[in-house]
Structures are given as C-alpha cells and as structure tokens.
C-alpha cells in the first residue's frame, strides 16, 4: 500500500474534525510566506527504528557494515543509523486492515534505501521483483498510521513557528510564517542586516530544521529539507527537488520563484506517476518545458488540473492551508512484544517519550503541571503474582515545566527507585494538566544557547521549580513544603508544613470577611508586656520524654569551668514550686539520660508557664518550661555543654525535652 500521490487539499490527515480552510494571508509586501518541511526518508527512518527494536528485543545487536548479530541487552543503547549499517533496506506500507496475515510477495515497496537503489531496487516494485535483484534485501512492514502520527507530532513542533500548520502524507509539514521571520533573527546582527527579510527567513528556516531534528527519537535525528516560498506547493517542490544549502534549507525571494521553479524536474509537479511518465515520453523533462505549453495544448496533456499546474509553473500558488488542530492532551506511548524486567531498560524508553513530549509542548507554547506515567505489565504474570496490570505514577509539579532535561529529571528521580511488580510491555506518558508556558527572560549568566536548545546553569532561581518537583517525586508530596506560622501557644504547634504554593489545588474564593494574618492578631490580653518564650534552634515536633532523672546526691552539685580553671559552685534553689516526679527533682546537679548518653544539669532557670491551654480540646496543656544547661563527656574525653528547653507536664507528671 502506498500513499496517493495525486494532489489533494493539504492537511487532509490533520484534524479529526473537518475545518474550514482559511484564506491565504498576505504580508506587508502583499505575499504570504510558507515554510515546507519535507522529510524524504521518514518512512525509512520509522521502519528502520522498528527493525532495530525487534532485533534488540530478540537479543541481537547490529554492527556497522555487515549486519551481523551479537548478543546484547534489550531496548538499550543507541540504534545504528540506516546508512551506517550498509544493509539493503525497503519498506512495505500497510493499512490498518492489512495487519493480519503475511505480506504477499506481490506487495509494492513504498520506500527504498540508497544501498538498495544501487542494486536497481526502486519504489513501486513488488517484493518478488526486488528480491530477484538483491537476495539479502530486508523488507520491513510499516503501518500507515505510524507515519500519520509522526507527521502530526512534527506539526505540533512546527506550531512554535507559526499559528497555522498543516501536513500531508507521506513526508510534508507546512507552517505559515508570514510576518514572523523577524522574531527569529539573531540579536547580535548589525542593524542593517537585522532588517533584511531574506536573512530573517534563513534564520527561521535553520531553527525550524534544528527543532525538527531534535524532536526525533532516532539517532542523528530526521533527514530534513526546509524551503520558504510564496505557497505550499511551491515550497514543497523546492524543498524536495531544489538545490539546498549545506544546512538543508532554501529561502526563495518572491521575484526568484519562477526562475527557481523552472530549474526543477517535472516530477516536482503534483501529478500522478503515470501522467509524469507520459509527459516525459513527450519530451517534457522540466517545469520550464511545461510552462512553455500553450493553454490549448496543456488541457489535453495535463488533464483537469491544467489551470492549476500552469499557474504553479508561473510561481502562483493560492492554495490555502487546512489548519491542523492538535489533541487537547499530549500522549506519548511505546510498547514492545517481549516483557522486560527491571527499571533500567525503561529508562531508555522513557528518554524518547520525554523528548517527544517536550518538543510537542514547546511547539504548543504550553507547559505541564501534572505528569502521569503508566507502566503496562504482562497481564498473565501480573495475574499470577496478584498485582495490578498497570502501575500509575503521578508527578505533581510545583511549577509548570516543558523542557526535556527538567521533565526527565523529575520522572527519573522516582522511576530509578521503583520496584516493578511484574515484567513490563509498554510505557505511556501523559500531561493531563497543561498551562501557558512562561519562559524567563534571557539572562546571559543563566541562559546559554547550545545547538538551538536553551539550557540553564542550575544555579539561578529558575532551577528551584525543577528541584522542588524532583523532591516531591522522590520524597512524596506530604514531605515537601514550606513552613507556615500557626496561632498556637504550644511551641511544637507554632508552625506546620504546608504544600508548596504551586502544588495547592485551586479553591473557590469565599465571600466571608478576610481573616487577618497571624502576625497582625492580638493573641495576648492588654496589660503589662509579656516576655515571649525564646525557642531553641532545633524544636522537636513530638517532645522527647526524659528517663532516669536522678536528684543530686550532695548540696554542692555544680561542676563547671570558671574563668581561669575548674571549680565548684554551691547549688542555689531556683524560684517557683518544687519540680518533682515522685522523689525525682530536676535541679542543678541532677542527672538524666536520653539518646543512650548521660547528662548532668549544670544550670536551671524558669522560663514560662502554660496553664489550661486549649482547654476546649480533650487534651488541654499545662506545662512549666525551664531553660537548663546540660553537660556531658564526649568520646574524646572532653566536656561538652548545650542549652535545652525542658518542660514539666503538670497534669500527667514527667519531664520532656522540647528542643
């Protein structure tokens, strides 16, 4: 099966719903400008990718030049480019209804590699005819839907260069670049050169070609040819058959369109192969020959399309673009036949999914706020192990992300620590929640352009959302947040961990009276100034119970260093009530233990009292807080001391370390 080569409205495979074709837009000069992206080896690249995946799945690995198979790991490592393999390769295109059963020997080849062409194999030959010329010809099946999906994905990438994009199978994507070329001119150009429209369009074409190559999941990227001209058919013909620059781009000025078209062969016209062959037998080998036909003779030789073909030969191309409308939610999927164990092979598949998703988001001008990764397991093994047939991983992002490196960091941070319950057969990556992408303004210290991609140095504030998303994916949403001040008298309840602002779900605004912030409320009654309890640098969320509190055996209990040497101090009774738990007293000279170490109390001073705090709850709080200095002996024999905040539970009894 092959795609119909007869001319038809562009974008016929674009949107699933019929769209009204828009009228051609014109620029200030009165002409519209269309960029055509032609991928001449798209079918070969897709089929070769399937062939390499099947070979690696069977445990083999292609080597350069011979095609010999060696033992290798599945789904791992880069795939050898088709040209470097040196193998004669051909593609048979199948429809959805032709997937069942074997491909007959009478099936026609849709695409042929350059190595096979040197042996005389051509597209349009049957498999039997081609194998008679090359005995070791590799014929790979390719589903037509795979080509359509790849073109649709590349059309989304092209959305970053124009509002209207369209595509046509098997190899063309169009984008209307009328009036936008100046947005892609380098900032370091002289003022005179920056106003050159031709130079601006060259820069646009170069960036468009680089973006399409980078959007490819194949080693080395797609083979891309880009031409900018006055119409879609003119640009397509020039991109396919014109003499392009070394970078694979061609920009034709409006006044040069007719001359450039006249140099092209007759196969550049949108005619079927049978009519082109008949015109060649008549001696018409170039577009210039067709343009010289009189109108009376052209209708008999060119058929019903004579008027459109003659206008095209003169450089007039009014055909409108049928806009392609991408799906609401971008979904990337990859599957394989043989189940694989572990997460390391999934990392190679994930890299391709993230790269394709990132290129689509960048073309849309959108960013993901939520990612969902589904691991599809072998259902029979999952049923045997009593586990779910799918594993769903959700990644709630603290800030919208769309760059490949950032998305990959977030997903890999959790996938690398995942234990797969059953062998996997596929991966699906979805961005169910999208928002407008708001890139930061250019900063020479943080943003660098490398190969057409922007990368960040990782040291500026723009790297914080990526770090937060990575921490949330690795630790969990409930363990990452910001501290918020809470209205409470208990020290352990004066702050709490709340979600990062970007992770909070949207709530409806209430019409109730706005509550003042905590710092503006008057929590204490009017009167004399109340001394605020000084909190320690480290505060335990749950107070630590102190055990083995022993009263001092002698009235002289303070052992500490005076200025100039060691000495002893007489214990002084601290003010306030006696601090007891049975016969125990927390006084100077007392000993206590926690954390498998013994400490001596060298100083005690009263701080504050909480009496009946939160009396409306089932567990009211009544405490006496004391600032104590604890001393211990280190492993090296040196004395160490530190201050601690200790309280006595006046309702239940007992001593607790607050911080």
Which helix H or strand E contains 253, and what residues bound it? Answer: none
Residue closest to 584 by CA, chosen among 656, 632, 654: 654
pLDDT in tens, 122-173: 888 898 998 999 888 888 888 888 889 889 888 888 888 888 899 998 889 9
Contact 129, 278 (CB under 8 A): no
H helix count then E strand count, the chain: 17, 27
Token reading at 411? 């997903």
Give, as one character, the DSSP assignment of residue 516.
P
User: What pLDDT score does 174 carry?
Assistant: 93
The answer to whether the beta carbons of residues 422 and 387 sit under 8 Å apart is yes
Paired sense of beta strands 580-581 and 621-633, if any: unpaired
Report the 3 state secondary structure along 87-140.
CCEEEEEECHHHCCCCCCCCCECCEECHHHHCCCCCCCCEHHHHHHHCCCCEEE
Q: What angle do CA 16, 20, 24 make, to 5 degrees?
A: 125
**Helix (H) / strand (E) containing 354:** helix 344-364
Q: What is the DSSP letter of 577?
A: S
What pLDDT score was predicted for residue 350?
85
| CATH among 1.10.4160.10, 3.40.1170.60, 2.60.120.260, 3.10.50.40 for 42-145 | 3.40.1170.60
- Domain limits, the chain: 34-40+171-313, 42-145, 331-475, 544-657
Are 189 and 181 in contact by the 8 Å Cβ rule? The answer is no
pLDDT at res. 172: 92
pLDDT at 451: 40
Q: Are 339 and 191 in contact (CB under 8 A)?
A: no
CB neighbour list of residue 476: distance below 8 Å, 6 or more residues apart: none
- Please state which architecture CATH assigns to domain 331-475: 2-Layer Sandwich (3.30)
E strands within 341-442? Answer: 366-377, 390-401, 424-436
Q: How many residues does the chain have?
A: 659
**Could you give the CA distance from residue 37 to residue 40 in angstroms, rounded to a whole number?**
10
User: 49 φ, ψ to 5°?
Assistant: -65, -45
C-beta separation of 608 from 625 below 8 A: yes
The residues of the chain scoring below 50 in pLDDT are: 1-2, 4-29, 61-78, 443-457, 504-531, 554-584
Q: Rounded to whole angstroms, how far apart are CA atoms 547 and 594? A: 7
What's the distance, Cα to Cα, between the start and end of the chain in Å? 76
DSSP string computed for 421-474:
SS-EEEEEEEEEEEEE--PPPP-TTTEEEETTEEEE-SSSGGGHHHHHHHHHHH
The secondary structure of residue 525, as a DSSP letter, is: P
Q: How far is CA 377 from CA 43, 244, 413, 515, 610, in A?
A: 30, 47, 21, 51, 57
Asked if 82 contacts 46 with a C-beta cutoff of 8 angstroms, the reply is no
Residue 375, helix vs strand vs coil: strand
Which region holds residue 83: left if phi is over 0, alpha if psi is between -120 and 50, else beta?
Answer: alpha
* Residue linked to tokens 């106003």: 195
Q: Which two tokens stand for residue 248?
A: 């694979």
- Give the model's pLDDT for residue 574: 42
Which element (helix H / strand E) includes 406? Answer: helix 404-415
Could you tell me whether strands 424-436 and 331-340 are parallel, antiparallel, or unpaired per DSSP bridges?
antiparallel
Question: How do 34-38 and 225-229 pair as beta strands?
Answer: antiparallel
Q: For 199-216, how does the pLDDT look when each residue is reduced to its tens digit (9 = 90+)?
A: 888 888 898 988 888 877
Query: What pLDDT sits at residue 175?
Result: 93
């Amino acid at each position: 099966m092959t795609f119909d080569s007869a001319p038809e409205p562009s974008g016929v495979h674009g949107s699933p719903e019929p769209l009204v074709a828009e009228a051609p837009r014109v620029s200030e000069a009165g002409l519209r400008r269309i960029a055509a992206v032609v991928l001449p080896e798209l079918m070969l690249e897709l089929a070769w990718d399937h062939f390499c995946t099947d070979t690696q799945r069977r445990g083999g690995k292609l080597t350069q030049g011979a095609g010999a198979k060696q033992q290798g790991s599945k789904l791992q490592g880069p795939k050898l480019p088709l040209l470097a393999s040196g193998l004669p390769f051909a593609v048979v295109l199948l429809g959805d209804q032709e997937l069942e059963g074997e491909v007959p020997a009478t099936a026609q080849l849709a695409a042929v590699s350059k190595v096979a062409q040197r042996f005389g194999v051509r597209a349009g030959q049957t498999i039997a005819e081609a194998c008679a010329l090359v005995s070791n010809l590799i014929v790979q099946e390719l589903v037509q839907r795979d080509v359509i999906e790849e073109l649709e994905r590349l059309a989304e990438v092209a959305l970053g260069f124009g509002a209207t994009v369209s595509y046509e199978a098997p190899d063309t994507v169009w984008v209307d670049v009328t009036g936008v070329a100046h947005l892609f001119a380098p900032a370091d150009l002289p003022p005179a050169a920056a106003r050159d429209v031709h130079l601006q369009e060259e820069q646009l074409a170069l960036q468009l070609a680089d973006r399409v190559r980078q959007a490819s999941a194949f080693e080395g990227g797609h083979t891309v040819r880009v031409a900018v001209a006055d119409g879609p058919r003119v640009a397509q013909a020039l991109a396919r058959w014109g003499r392009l620059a070394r970078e694979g781009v061609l920009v034709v000025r409006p006044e040069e369109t007719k001359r450039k078209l006249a140099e092209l062969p007759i196969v550049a016209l949108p005619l079927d192969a049978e009519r082109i062959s008949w015109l060649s037998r008549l001696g018409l080998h170039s577009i210039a020959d067709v343009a010289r036909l009189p109108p009376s003779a052209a209708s008999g030789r060119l058929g019903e399309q004579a008027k459109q073909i003659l206008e095209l030969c003169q450089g007039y191309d009014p055909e409108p673009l049928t806009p392609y409308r991408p799906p609401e939610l971008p979904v990337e999927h990859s599957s394989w036949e043989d189940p694989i164990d572990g997460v390391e092979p999934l990392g190679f598949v994930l890299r391709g999914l993230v790269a394709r998703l990132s290129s689509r988001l960048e073309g849309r001008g959108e960013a993901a706020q939520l990612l969902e990764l589904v691991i599809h397991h072998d259902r029979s093994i999952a049923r045997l192990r009593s586990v779910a047939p799918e594993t769903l991983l959700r990644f709630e992002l603290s800030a919208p992300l769309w760059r490949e490196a950032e998305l990959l960091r977030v997903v890999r941070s959790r996938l690398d620590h995942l234990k797969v319950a059953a062998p996997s057969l596929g991966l699906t990556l979805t961005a169910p929640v999208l928002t407008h992408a708001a890139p930061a303004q250019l900063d020479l210290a943080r943003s660098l352009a490398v190969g057409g991609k922007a990368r960040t140095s990782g040291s500026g504030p723009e790297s914080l959302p990526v770090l937060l998303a990575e921490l949330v994916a690795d630790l969990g949403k409930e363990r990452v947040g910001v501290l918020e001040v809470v209205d409470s008298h208990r020290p352990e309840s004066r702050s709490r961990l709340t979600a990062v602002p970007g992770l909070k779900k949207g709530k409806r605004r209430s019409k109730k009276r706005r509550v003042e912030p905590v710092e503006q409320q008057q929590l204490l009654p009017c009167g004399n100034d109340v001394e605020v309890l000084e909190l320690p640098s480290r505060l335990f969320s749950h107070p630590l119970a102190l055990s083995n509190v022993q009263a001092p055996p002698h009235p002289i209990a303070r052992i500490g260093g005076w200025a100039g040497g060691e000495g002893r101090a007489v214990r002084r009774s601290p003010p306030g009530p006696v601090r007891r738990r049975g016969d125990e007293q927390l006084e100077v000279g007392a000993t206590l233990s926690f954390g498998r170490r013994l400490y001596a109390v060298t100083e005690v001073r009263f701080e504050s009292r909480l009496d009946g705090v939160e009396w409306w709850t089932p567990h009211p709080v009544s405490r006496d807080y004391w600032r104590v200095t604890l001393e211990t002996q280190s492993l090296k024999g040196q004395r160490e001391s530190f201050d601690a905040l200790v309280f006595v539970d006046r309702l239940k009894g007992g001593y607790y370390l607050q911080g």
